[in-house]
Every structure is written in C-alpha cells, then in structure tokens.
Amino acid sequence: MSYKAGIVAVVGKTNVGKSTFINAILGKKVVIVSDRPQTTRNRIRCIYTTDRAQIVFVDTPGLHRPVNKLSAHILREAFRALAGVDVLLYMTEASGEVDPYDQEVLPRIRTLPCPKLLLVNKIDQAKGNQLPETLLAYEKLGIFDELVPISCTKGKNLDRALELVIQYLPEGEPLFPADMTTDRPLEFMVAELIREKIFHLTYQEIPYSTAVVVEEIREREDKPLLEIYATIFVARDSQKPIVIGRGGQKLKEIGRHARLELEALLGKKVFLSLRVKVRPKWTEDEAEIARLAGD
C-alpha cells in the first residue's frame, strides 16, 4: 500500500479536549492543556509519523463567542486553520444533543470540500443515553462521513479514530522529517508551557490577560545547562502583584512547575528566569496582540 500524508485540522468548541487528543495520539505532551476554556491561542502543527502514514495535526484555538479583541483574534486563528486541510476532525462532547454553539458553527464546516469526521469526546462522562442520542443527533445533520465516540483521557477508541483518519488521508509523501513532532521553535513551546502553568496556578481573568514571550535561550558552555529568560505580560497594574504573589511565591511556583517539565522534556538542567511586565490593555490592542499572542 502506498504512503499516506496530509493535514488534519482538529476543530471544535473550546475545552472539548482537542489538545488532549493530539497529545494522546502522539503519545507525548506537545501542546498545552487545561481545564479552562481558551487555553490554545494559535494554530500549532503536531506531526505524527509511522511507516504507513504521516498526519500533520493542526491544533486550533477552541471556538467560542468572542468577548474582546484578543478572543476575536483567537477565533480568527481557528477558522484560518480550515483552509487547505485534507481531513477535518470536528470534536464535541456527548451532551445528548447537537450543542447549540456547534449548531451555529456547523454551516461553515458543512461547505468544506474535505472529508469530515466527528469525534465525540469525554464519553467516560456520558450518562444514560447521552452518547447514542448525541451520535444520532449529529448523524442526522448529514455533515460527517464518520462519527467516532472517544475518551482521550481514558484512551478509549483512539486507535479507531486514528485508523479512520489514515483511511481518509490522501496518498502522498511525508511533508516533514520523521523525527519532527512540531514545526514551532523551542521558544514558542517554552512560552506555551509557562502559559499552561499560569492557567493551572492562577484564577479568574489572570490567564486570559497573560501572554508569555521567551526573550532568550542560552546554552551554557561551561556546564550542561540551558538558561531561559522569559517575560510574562499582564494587562493591568493590579494583575502584576497577583502573578508575582506574596514574597514572589506565585511566580516561583509557576517557574518551578515549568522548569521541572522542561527539564524532563529536554533531558537537561534548566535555569528559568521569569519577570512580569504590564502592557496596559494589550488584549484590546491589535498590534500588541500580534506581538504577544500572534501567529
């Protein structure tokens, strides 16, 4: 059988588990995940290669109703991912009906020329008849070529989802080297990891007002150590002391969690220096959004 390769966008409402799915398929943490909506802000290519196929998954920001310029930007990013894909994976949860927000978005999905697969995620949480009712409701729309119930966290039916994706992929040569898992540079991945820790360790509006920029990654010559200098930007003066915490405790905690994960990921010691800066109202300023949370 000839080799298969193509671009597969993973799209759906925010927080349904798109990034978790990609990590589960790749068998390692490539993209960040949190239990709160709008974690992913950019389109991120994640590459899965076997001897039969190469799938270039595109993780996308969750679809949502925008509340400010930043979230409108994030939403545009998600829709931009739809252009030129070979297979579309639309993800939803088993709520028992067509999700009202999906209902609004699906007309834009219907007209795409590629095969479309529906992933019904979090089936471990489905109660009673919710799963069969969800499948029936989405089936009736007549949009999807396949409907696949899965649980990303329990690893249920992921092999079936993967098989189907490969089945619908076009034949072709690999697009990326086999050992590559993302096309994003290390600076981006490090910034994302720090942002994830902010999602895990701060509350309310803080993660949504925060951006992370890695200023420098420096390999020490005298010892096996990676020095990383990053800045956390917040949108208001009052947010700075919250991110820093009493006696710098919160910032230390964010740094420690990020550093430990980076060390495990990179297999070397990391020195991580974090500072916090205020960029007043950056989430409402297109130029700042492009600079701090852009492509």
Binding site for ligand GTP (CB under 6 A): 14-20, 33-35, 37-40, 61-62, 121-122, 124-125, 151-153
Indicate which of Mg ion, ligand GTP, none lies near residue 16 (CB less than 5 to 8 Å, by partner kind): ligand GTP
Q: Nearest residue to ligand GTP, using CB?
A: 62
Task: Rank residues 4 and 18 by Cβ distance to ligand GTP and give the closer one.
Answer: 18
Q: Are 47 and 177 in contact (CB under 8 A)?
A: no
Shortest gap between Cβ of 59 and Mg ion (angstroms)?
Answer: 6
Task: Rank residues 62 and 255 by Cβ distance to ligand GTP and give the closer one.
Answer: 62
Binding site residues, Mg ion, CB under 5 A? 18-19, 39-40
Task: Rank residues 77 and 86 by Cβ distance to Mg ion and give the closer one.
Answer: 77
Shortest gap between Cβ of 290 and Mg ion (angstroms)?
Answer: 20
As a residue count, the chain comes to 295
Is the four-CA dihedral 254, 255, 260, 263 of positive or negative sign?
A: positive
Beta carbons within 8 Å of 221's beta carbon, 6+ residues apart: none
Beta-carbon count within 10 A of 125 CB: 14
Shortest gap between Cβ of 39 and ligand GTP (angstroms)?
Answer: 4
Q: Which of 31, 97, 101 is nearest to 63 (CA)?
A: 101
Indicate which of Mg ion, ligand GTP, none lies near residue 207 (CB less than 5 to 8 Å, by partner kind): none
* Dihedrals phi, psi of 182, to nearest 5 degrees: -155, 155
Which three-class secondary structure state does DSSP give residue 120? strand
Q: Which helix (H) or strand (E) holds 274?
A: strand 269-278
Indicate which of Mg ion, ligand GTP, none lies near residue 151 (CB less than 5 to 8 Å, by partner kind): ligand GTP
Shortest gap between Cβ of 66 and ligand GTP (angstroms)?
Answer: 13
Q: Are 120 and 139 in contact (CB under 8 A)?
A: no
Task: Rank residues 16 and 270 by Cβ distance to ligand GTP and give the closer one.
Answer: 16
Task: Rank residues 36 and 277 by Cβ distance to ligand GTP and give the closer one.
Answer: 36
Shortest gap between Cβ of 288 and ligand GTP (angstroms)?
Answer: 21
Indicate which of ligand GTP, Mg ion, none lies near residue 17 (CB less than 5 to 8 Å, by partner kind): ligand GTP
What the block records as the tokens of 174 is: 């690999």
CA 153 to chain centre: 15
Which three-class secondary structure state does DSSP give residue 13? strand
Shortest gap between Cβ of 38 and ligand GTP (angstroms)?
Answer: 5
What ranges in 121-216 are assigned the alpha helix state H? 130-141, 158-168, 186-201
Indicate which of Mg ion, ligand GTP, none lies near residue 250 (CB less than 5 to 8 Å, by partner kind): none
